Amino acid sequence: MTQASSRPPPNLQPRPKAFPTFSNTSLAAISTATPPHISRSSSRSRHSSPARPVRLSDASEKATAALVRRVLCPHSHASGTTEPRPLDELLPPLTSSNDVDLQLYAIIAIVVKDLVHSWYGKITPDQGFVEEVVKIVAHCTRALEGRLRHVDLESLFFDEIPNLVEGHITTYRVSHQGRNPPPLSTDPRIVYHNLNPHPALSPVPNPAVASTVSEQRDHEAEYRQLLVQGALAVLLPTEDLENTCLRTLVADVIAESILGNAIGGKVCEGYFIWGSISKLVDVVKARVESKTTGEEIEVDTRSRLEKFGLLAEKGKDRGPNEQNGRSTFLSIFWRILQYGYLTFITIRFVIVGLIAASSEPMRSSTTSKISNTAEMLPMEKTIEPPCQPYPILGFRIFPLISSLLDLSSRMPWLSGSLALLQHHLIHGPFQAGATDGILDQ
């Protein structure tokens, strides 16, 4: 009792000059630590350390960076400094974006942790082998990014990929058009693979014959190895290709873990695609629903007497003929305004498009610049100069849309008319849709 009475009151106790900072402590230690007493009369301390909300993205980025440091840079704190060096100084760049590099290094860290440290860590704690693997992967990604910058994206997305999809759709429909009765019919899968043979998918696996299943898996694994070995031969320099151990390890990791297990075993499955689409729809729907404007909130401007029918609303005391005439006049007036505005927008779109197309560079001039650059390169690295660019109206995206809608069977007259119009625009007298034409630009 005497000790409790002799203690000075809390408001007279000296408070600490500054709060302790925890730079390398765990979350458990921070949560169990007792906060110091803060006087309410001190407004300076409240303004000096404002509470900042921690976003989920920041926490995930810190966790990702911690994973990368723990797996790929375990000796980054060897110098004894309190602040670690940034990752872009410890690891070679993978791409031209730091955000993309962080995510790619997280994937590399997971692969190295599961496939390399599981057996290499038992042999030696040296990190030289892991560093060489990271350097090879970084060289491949930088070379791949450099090649992707010179890819003709419009031809890739509007001509080559639609051509593959259209061929798949046509072959699928032909293989499922069974014209023979069941005793004489053929499996649609066998018909499809006979029309589109592929070395990685042959023979067609038959559950009744176990040897076909194992043989098809072996062919697929060998084809993945050939793909990766060919890509490494193009992307890696000569001195790295001569290192057989590293090249084999990187090829096995990419072929089996990434292409085989991740892409072939999960990403290409129907449940993964359906789940990804569902998550994307949920994210977009949440963003759209969260945006509420004043126009969506219905405001009732009527008075209480008008709500409960004790007072006639505005406009109800007028006769029906006057209301009908005025409503008809207003509807006609607004319809004329709508059609006039639509016509103005259409004419403006055509004029602005023609002006912008005339100022754009021609596609053939870009192709000639690429061919001149290819001629200036050394002989062993030259690429064949590309041919004349194909007109955009001749891309396979339009036949793909026709195949998806099945216009040739449902409305053959519309399909023929569109094909005739396309032919006249490309090969007609004016050639408006030909290469470097007004529509092509």
Query: What are the tens digits of pLDDT across the range 64-113?
Result: 888 888 888 877 655 555 677 788 788 888 888 888 888 888 888 888 88
Got the DSSP string for 80-127? --SSPPPHHHHS---SS-HHHHHHHHHHHHHHHHHHTHHHHTTT----
Query: Does residue 250 contact residue 232 with C-beta atoms inside 8 Å?
Result: yes
Work out the number of other CB atoms within 10 angstroms of the CB of residue 228: 20
341-369 burial by CB neighbour count: b if 16+ within 10 A, else e? eeeeeeeeeeeeeeeeeeeeeebeeebee
User: What is the share, in percent, of the chain residues with pLDDT greater than 70?
Assistant: 71
Least confident of 14-23, 204-213, 233-242, 386-395: 14-23
Residue pair 397/159 in contact by the 8 Å Cβ criterion: yes
Considering only CA atoms, which of 253, 229, 248, 250 is closest in space to residue 136?
250
| Distance (Å, whole) CA 139 – CA 235 | 8
Any idea which of 107-121, 174-188, 281-295, 349-363 has the lowest mean pLDDT?
A: 281-295
Query: What was the pLDDT predicted at 328?
Result: 84
The single-letter DSSP state of residue 181 is -
CA distance 176 to 98: 48
This model's pTM is above 0.85: no
The two tokens of residue 167 are 């061929």
Length of the chain in terms of residues written = 441
For residue range 356-409, list pLDDT tens digits in order: 877 777 776 655 554 444 444 443 444 444 567 788 888 899 999 999 998 888
Find the distance separating the first CA and the last CA of the chain, reported in whole Å: 94
* Torsion, Cα of 390, 396, 401, 407 (10° steps): 100
pLDDT digits (tens, 9 = 90+) for 247-302: 888 888 888 888 888 888 888 888 999 999 999 999 999 888 765 544 444 444 55
Q: Is the separation of the CB atoms in 400 and 394 below 8 Å?
A: no
Token pair 């898996």 is at which residue?
217
Kind and range of the H or E element at 97? none
* C-alpha pair distances (Å), 67 with each of 41, 149, 166, 398: 44, 30, 43, 47
* Residue 305 pLDDT: 53
Distances (CA, A) of 156 to 152, 163, 397: 6, 10, 11
Range from 44-58, 210-224, 317-331, 384-398 that averages highest in pLDDT: 210-224
Q: What is the mean pLDDT of the chain?
A: 75
